[in-house]
Amino acid sequence: MVKKSNFKKDNIKKLNDFVASKFDDHDYESIEMEDLDINDEHVLTTNISLADQYHHQSSSKCGNNGSTSKNLAETFQKKINSVGDDNKICSNESFLEKIPKIAIVYDEYHSTHTSSLLGIESPENPQRLFEAYWYLKKNRVFEDKMIDLFNDFEKANEKDIMLVHSKTYLDFLKSYASKGGGFLGDSTYITESSYNVALKAVGGSIKAAELVIEGSYYSSFALVRPPGHHAGVDKYSGFCLLNNGAILARYLQKYHKYKKILILDWDAHSGNGTMDIFYQDPTVMTVSIHHDPRNYYPRTGFSDQLGDGKGKGYTLNIEMAKGAGDKDYQLVFNEIISHVLITYSPDFIICCCGFDGYYKEKNNKLNMTSEGYYEIGYWLKSNSSVPFVVLLEGGYHKYNGQLCHSFISGILGRKNPFIEKNIFSQYEKNMQKNIYIDTQKNLSKLKKLTSFGK
């Protein structure tokens, strides 16, 4: 335990102003991506480029269904036949045409959850969210007629939190926070204000969903922290205290009577907490796209972890090879996620968006670029015929604002505002072929293992 902090709410503005004053140091309005020496074959090869630029015209194509394995084809046949032309799933934009606006939910109260009050350093800190917000503000994103900012929302109440987490666990968090907090272990810390900040993050997630359900917005993005997808029923893990996405799923089931919810997670790390919570539950399907967990936190989330009991087949873990980038993720969405939407046919989609797959993430082993996140946004816009919300998870660098802008531009069907050129060496580009083959092998293995709930 550490000594109880004297940090007060009236200091939030001072902290925010300080961060804002330092913001120009990042020169966000004129970012220039540093190029690598393409003749240097000794550069780090963990960053591998996509072979070709993707454009939104091609992202609406569903991939080659002929490559689907026999048992997978049998699984999907009835559903596909009922749809008719299976490419229709890639061109359903009726929902977007009705209500094309996007809501962004953000509140500065998260700044009181900071490890600096404990005298320790953590990459999960207020600055990662401040920088995203100030980038979007300075680039006048909130002035866009198709984007509205909401910063007036309440904390979630404990009754709703206990739809997922145990009372014993919540009592532990409150007690620890009341004593001043400290480092809990497993990369996770708690301050005097952290419990309330976590409640606020859940509240922001609920607000984002309610805005979409009310009908004024096609989608919403909750810029909240701390992240949530590692937190379990009665455990903290990997910066996470409360599982924002899982609580939102139960909230939607209880108050809005959604029968089938899909949680789609593309953070670089497995959403192990979410997986554990719904492992035996067919009413919430969890899909996590993440780095091969054999030597990567949290070292779980393998493709053969498919759920248990009635939930067998409703957990899907998609392992990405080291160095996987935009092209590999496009393959996953076109060959796997498109079929999940057909076979599971969710009523609502909760997207857990991690920007830690970005190639500039410290200690990163994946190689997404702004174009990759743009393509995911456009893919969702082109494929989803049901409401979806996006919750921020990881991303521990100064480019979260840039990537968020690219992502929501994809949802709006606009051009990517940040095309990154000459990022990788020619040697790295050549290595992409091997990584793409590894991705194909992983997907082939996954198709043989699962019948996606059938």
> What is the per-residue pLDDT for 14?
56
Residue with tokens 């080291």: 322
The pLDDT averaged over each successive group of 10 residues in the chain (454 residues) is 44 52 36 29 27 32 36 35 34 52 96 95 96 96 97 97 98 97 96 98 98 95 98 98 99 98 99 99 98 95 96 96 95 96 97 97 91 98 95 97 98 93 80 90 87 49
The residue assigned the tokens 């939104």 is: 56
Residue tagged active-site, from 230, 290, 397, 405: 230
Q: What one-character DSSP code corresponds to residue 237?
A: B
Does 11 fall in a domain?
Answer: no
91: domain CATH number?
3.40.800.20
Active site annotation includes 230: yes
pTM for the model: 0.81
Q: What are the tens digits of pLDDT across the range 29-49?
A: 323 333 322 222 222 222 222
- Cα 389 versus chain centre, distance: 10
Please report which residue ranges of 231-346 form alpha helices under DSSP H. Answer: 244-256, 272-277, 326-332, 338-344
Whole-number pLDDT of residue 15 = 53
Counting Cα atoms < 13 Å in the Cβ hemisphere of 443 gives: 22
Q: Name the domain count of the chain.
A: 1
Per the domain annotation, does 6 fall within a domain?
Answer: no
Tens of pLDDT along 271-312? Answer: 999 999 999 999 999 999 999 999 999 999 999 999 999 999
pLDDT for 445 equals: 86
Q: Residue 131: which of 233, 28, 15, 234 has the closest Cα?
A: 28
Residue percentage of the chain with pLDDT more than 70:
77
Instruction: Say if 28 falls within a structural domain.
Output: no
Residue 405's domain spans which residues? Answer: 36-449
Q: Is the peptide bond before 227 cis (omega within 30 degrees of 0)?
A: no
CA-based R_g, the chain, Å: 21
Domain assignment of residue 409, yes or no: yes
Please indicate, yes or no, if residue 107 is contained in any of the structural domains.
yes
Inside any domain, residue 173 = yes
Residue 24 falls inside a structural domain: no
Buried b (16+ CB within 10 A) or exposed e, 377-412: bbbbbbbbebbbbbbbbbbbbbbbbbbbbbbbbbbb
Residue 179 belongs to some domain of the structure: yes
